[in-house]
Amino acid sequence: MPENNDASAQGSYVLADQPYQRDTNYIETRITRDGLDGYPVEPGRYRLVVSYACPWANRTIIVRRLLGLDRVISMGVCGPTHDKRSWTFDLDPGGVDPVLQIPRLQDAYFARIPGYEKGITVPAIVDERSGAVVTNDFPQITLDFETEWVDYHRPGAPILYPADLREEIDEVNALVYRDVNNGVYRCGFAGSQESYDAAYDQLFSRLDWLSERLADQRYLVGDTITEADIRLFTTLARFDPVYHGHFKCNRQKLSEMPVLWAYARDLFQTPGFGDCTNFDHIKRHYYQVHRDINPSGIVPKGPDLANWNEPHGRDKLGGRPFGDGDPPPPLR
């Protein structure tokens, strides 16, 4: 696979004069109630490995917390930076994950597929018994948390992927992924002016569409938080600290887009979102790892992020964040 600065860890690459390409060849094994792929839902068996820096992993952190799956699925946290080989457990004593007893996430991939040549990505779910990665298919991981792990959701957990709204949620997610979640990367890693311009226009066209959609409704689909809001939030949270400058997504800052800015603050101030967001890790990852974009590795001090706690005023649109459920308890 062609490499950029961190291709093996991120599962993506850039070729000169070509649009950015994301490697989406994931390990698609699923953990299900029927155990069809050989991995049944089982409390205490699996470890979710994440980095707070990564937007895809951040989704799984949020969903795990909202549903109360922290009681049955442990979580290992990698540091905000990595090298070409792998994410590492440098936050843990001795640089070793205390459960898996490995220093690099790569070791769990190799335990599943010796010499694994694709991206060593987070999030990844590891079978604690074998020490091998089960899956790194991040779009499916959260959906399975919501549908296959239902028996272990906390009392009062929200329904994040309601059956009657799944078609609409899937449609919105597909557009947001193409134009926004991945669109910012297509801007930042564009190999030519032409590909950058196209990605830029597509990104802001979709953000305008989202602003119109959210002008009169509190959440993306229905009147409660769903999987769609979580997928959009993790990109919006990184917009001003990283994507606006680092990825040249600079028509406007998020804080200059009134509807999306209020929407993002509404979610940030909801238990399970802001308390699962680490701006320090986010900034350190992008600015220190992407040396082809930021050769010095200097991490900017700004922007001031205290404004995330300013009143959002979205309550007037109605909606019930957790539906008939309750917010998760405070973090321990």
Please name which of 1, 4, 52 lies closest in space to residue 189, comparing C-alpha atoms: 4
Q: pLDDT band for position 20 (50/70/90)?
A: confident
**pTM of the predicted model as reported, rounded to 2 decimal places:** 0.94
Whether the upstream peptide bond of residue 123 has omega within 30° of 0, thus cis, is: yes
| Catalytic status, residue 263 | no
pLDDT per residue over 269-284, tens digit each?
A: 999 999 999 999 999 9
The one catalytic residue in 13, 54, 196, 286 is 54
**Per-residue pLDDT at 2 exceeds 80:** no
The whole-number average pLDDT for the span 61-73 is 98
Please name which of 275, 211, 201, 287 lies closest in space to residue 243, comparing C-alpha atoms: 287
Mean pLDDT of the chain: 94
Dihedral sign, CA of 253, 255, 260, 265?
A: positive
Give the contacts of 170 (CB within 8 A, at least 6 positions apart): none
Q: pLDDT band for position 7 (50/70/90)?
A: very low
> In this predicted structure, what is the pLDDT of residue 6?
40
> In this predicted structure, what is the pLDDT of residue 11?
53
The whole-number average pLDDT for the span 118-138 is 97
**Per-residue pLDDT at 18 exceeds 80:** no
**Per-residue pLDDT at 13 exceeds 60:** no
> In this predicted structure, what is the pLDDT of residue 17?
56
Could you tell me the domains of the chain?
7-152 (3.40.30.10), 164-317 (1.20.1050.10)
> In this predicted structure, what is the pLDDT of residue 1?
26
- % of the chain beyond a pLDDT of 90: 91
Q: pLDDT band for position 12 (50/70/90)?
A: low
pLDDT per residue over 132-189, tens digit each?
A: 999 999 999 999 999 999 999 999 999 999 999 999 999 999 999 999 999 999 999 9
The one catalytic residue in 185, 263, 286, 287 is 185
Q: How is residue 161 annotated by DSSP? A: S
| Catalytic status, residue 54 | yes
Q: Is 149 annotated as a binding residue?
A: no
Please name which of 6, 93, 94, 108 lies closest in space to residue 50, comparing C-alpha atoms: 108
pLDDT per residue over 189-203, tens digit each?
A: 999 999 999 999 999
The whole-number average pLDDT for the span 317-330 is 97
Residue 104's Cβ-side half-sphere holds a number of Cα atoms within 13 Å equal to 13
Report which of residues 114 and 19 the model is more confident about.
Answer: 114
The whole-number average pLDDT for the span 233-256 is 98
DSSP 67-87: HTGGGTSEEEE--S-B-SS-B
If one counts every other C-beta atom within 10 angstroms of the C-beta of residue 140, the result is 16
**Per-residue pLDDT at 44 exceeds 70:** yes
The whole-number average pLDDT for the span 119-127 is 97
* Lookup result for tokens 């603050």: 265
In angstroms, rounded to a whole number, what is the distance separating the alpha carbons of residues 157 and 160?
Answer: 9
pLDDT per residue over 205-215, tens digit each?
A: 999 999 999 99
**Per-residue pLDDT at 117 exceeds 60:** yes
> In this predicted structure, what is the pLDDT of residue 85?
84
